[in-house]
Amino acid sequence: MENGISPHRIKKLIGYRFRRKSLLETALTHPSCGEGIPHYERLEFLGDAILSAVLSEELYRRYPEKSEGDLTMYRTALTNGRFLAEMARELQLGPLIRLKAVVNPQQRDSLHENVFEALIGAIFLDSKYAKVKKVLLGWYEPFAERLERELKRTNPKGRIQELICALRPNSVLDYRLIAETGEDHEHIYSVALYCEKELLGIGSGSSKKVAEKNAAFHALEVIFQRAKLQL
């Protein structure tokens, strides 16, 4: 590779040895490197989908007692941009990235997140789903500890408030109780989150507080997906 990193060194960092080194090079190449040079954007699109599928399956398997709302909240916590950027730094991907653009500090998290997802897409194309799943879950270990730590760090209601203030100044968020089901000892609340008249997300939980948090997580996931599609 142009950056002088040997395949052996890369395998040691990420736990996978590429057969098609062109895929690895593409995953690590920023669009600024020049017109006609393959870069990571298409692999990032693929990797994002693979990451969501692998984590959805793993969360479903690990937490059979959890509701759809809880599983969505967990997946969002483990795929937010800051967390993925931290994962990329743990794998020491930063020095491997090829780019010619000047990246300011505010853009570095996004750059690391993009390369992390692109690397997942590259491994998938170089092998198969079972292999990329094994490698990816290896990166996430210790899985339960990472999830617990990230949930404690994440404040979805605060985060969605920040985003709405930035995107729609003077708009008001409204958490509305839309349903209550179940017996007294197994009561489930469902809450819808609106911004003015627009429905942003729906969440459920054993208390109104948990339902509101899950609705905020759902809204964040929707907003982040919209942002990816608009890039």
What are the tens digits of pLDDT across the range 39-91? 999 999 999 999 999 999 999 999 998 888 788 888 988 998 889 999 999 99
Taking only the tens place, the pLDDT of each residue in 214-226 is 899 888 878 776 6
Alpha carbon 180 to chain centroid distance? 30
Q: How far apart are CA 154 and CA 53, in angstroms?
A: 22
Average pLDDT over residues 126-151: 94
Composition of the chain by helix, strand, coil, percent to 5 = 65, 10, 25
The residue that leads in pLDDT, 31 or 130, is: 130
Q: Which domains does the chain have, with CATH numbers?
A: 7-153 (1.10.1520.10), 156-230 (3.30.160.20)
Strand-pairing partners, residue 181, are: 188
Q: How far apart are CA 19 and CA 6, in angstroms?
A: 13
Catalytic residues: 48, 117
Q: How far apart are CA 25 and CA 2, in angstroms?
A: 9
- Mean pLDDT of the residues in the chain: 88
